[in-house]
Amino acid sequence: MSAPVVERRETPPRDGSLFLRTLSGEALPTPPVWLMRQAGRYLPEYRELRARAGGFLDLCYTPALATEVTLQPIRRFGFDAAILFSDILVVPHALGQHVGFVEGEGPRLEPVTSRAEFGRLRDEIDLAMLAPVYETVSRVRSELAPEKALIGFCGAPYTVATYMVAGRGGDEQAPARLLAYRDPEAFSELIDRLVEASAAHLVAQLEAGADAVQIFDSWSGDLPPDEFTRWSTEPIRALCERVRARVPDAKILAFPRGAGAKLAGFARAVPANAFGLATSEDLRAARAAVPAGVALQGAIDPLALMAGGAALDRAVDRVLEELGGAPLVVNLGHGVRQHTPPEHVGQLVARVRRNR
Ligand SMILES: Cc1c2[nH]c(c1CCC(=O)O)Cc1[nH]c(c(CCC(=O)O)c1C)Cc1[nH]c(c(CCC(=O)O)c1C)Cc1[nH]c(c(C)c1CCC(=O)O)C2
């Protein structure tokens, strides 16, 4: 791993951060709240800035703009945590894969589908290429109030591999799964490289000032149990261990989206401080599946958020009731959708905090 690009900043202890206290195992009467994809196209101020920024990756790699976009939802809604504005696909980009974003369609990568093609990627992640991302982390941290936490992130090795092999997103995980069955050694080599690259990327974000990091595993939930253990649980466990070897007190959230009954085994193996729950999870079963004192994060339906009104209040109350009384970070079960009215986000935050 190359040396960190940005020096670790001396940061004051943030005892006032409800988010960090929850990750340390405290059950708070009013839990912290932030939302996946809280920055983005549902916000008019994002759309306005995005139109001036050029391409999506240009926005991610321009610290002044990425900082502004990260802070927009904090100013508007007062969330307890900001999430760095970036993307999981900067890791393949810094491994030398061609990555682009097609307007209105999503990511397009030049697919890597064999050992020979993996061989054309860099052996190690080029952290210098991601220096603007780490600069964004330090800028955001210095502009955020001390009681607000800053979350860095990466995609889980399996999820990132599905994009690298298929060359695109959506429901196109079949190419990676086929490769995993046809040539498990080759797929395993790709996953191992992603473990190392992602660890270096998370450590660099923590050293630049991120208070915690989240690992997004958006696509492993469909895997059969043994494949899930091999391609999701084990690589994420290894990733957490690599990060903690460099930053022993790193706060880590793992989000194995849609793990369902596989969550219990995942949570036993992965040494995270919190586990994210998708909309579809049985919340009480999930609580019983994770070790006592470990935080859970989730799991309001993004479509209840879009609907608003009484349906949204009920969705918030259900999460508070079924997951409250133990360490809880209120969030959605997946990202905010594009056509969500911003006032509904305000309603969600007010509902969580109404007894405060
Ligand atoms: C799979 C995945 C990706 N990116 C991400 C995941 C994991 C979470 C999930 O399952 O959604 C994670 C991500 N992507 C983005 C963030 C920023 C922080 C946040 O607000 O949560 C985070 C944490 C910004 C983004 N990443 C992207 C946008 C939209 C780009 C635009 O403004 O045009 C944003 C705000 C583009 C992106 N990036 C990706 C896709 C499939 C797309 C296109 C689909 C879409 O547009 O929603 C890959």
pLDDT of residue 3: 43
Query: Which regions in the chain score pLDDT beneath 70?
Result: 1-15, 170
Residues having CB within 6 Å of any atom of ligand 1: 36-41, 50, 56, 83, 85-89, 101, 106-107, 153, 155, 169, 216, 218, 335
Domain boundaries, the chain: 19-352
Q: What is the pTM of this model?
A: 0.95
> Which of 33, 87, 334 has the most ligand 1 atoms within 8 A of CB, as the residue to mutate?
87
Ligand 1: centre distance to CA 293 (Å): 30
**In 3D, which of 245, 232, 287, 298 has the Cα closest to residue 264?**
287
Q: What pLDDT score does 2 carry?
A: 45
Q: Whose CA is nearest to atom 42 of ligand 1?
A: 106
Q: What is the ipTM of this complex?
A: 0.94
pLDDT at 281 (0 to 100): 98
Q: What is the pLDDT of residue 14?
A: 58
Question: Residue 184's CB: how many other CB atoms inside 10 A?
Answer: 14
For residue 174, what are its two tokens? 């079949």
Question: Is 163 annotated as belonging to a binding site?
Answer: yes
**C-alpha 299 to ligand 1 mean position (Å):** 18
> Helix, strand or coil for residue 332?
strand
Give the pLDDT of residue 132: 98
Q: Ligand 1 centre and the CA of 202: distance in Å?
A: 17
Q: How far apart, in whole angstroms, are the C-alpha atoms of residue 173 and residue 198?
A: 20
Give the C-alpha separation, 230 to 225, whole Å.
Answer: 9
Q: Whose CA is nearest to atom 7 of ligand 1?
A: 216
Output the residue whose Cα is nearest ligand 1's atom 2: 88
Phi, psi (5° rounding) for residue 87?
Answer: -150, 155
- CATH value of 19-352 in 3.40.50.720, 3.40.190.10, 3.20.20.210, 3.40.50.1820: 3.20.20.210
CB 267 within 8 A of CB 260: no
Beta bridge partners of 154: 215
Q: Which residues share a beta bridge with 149?
A: 81
* Residue 149 DSSP SS3: strand
pLDDT of residue 356: 77
Q: How far apart are CA 269 and CA 283, in angstroms?
A: 20
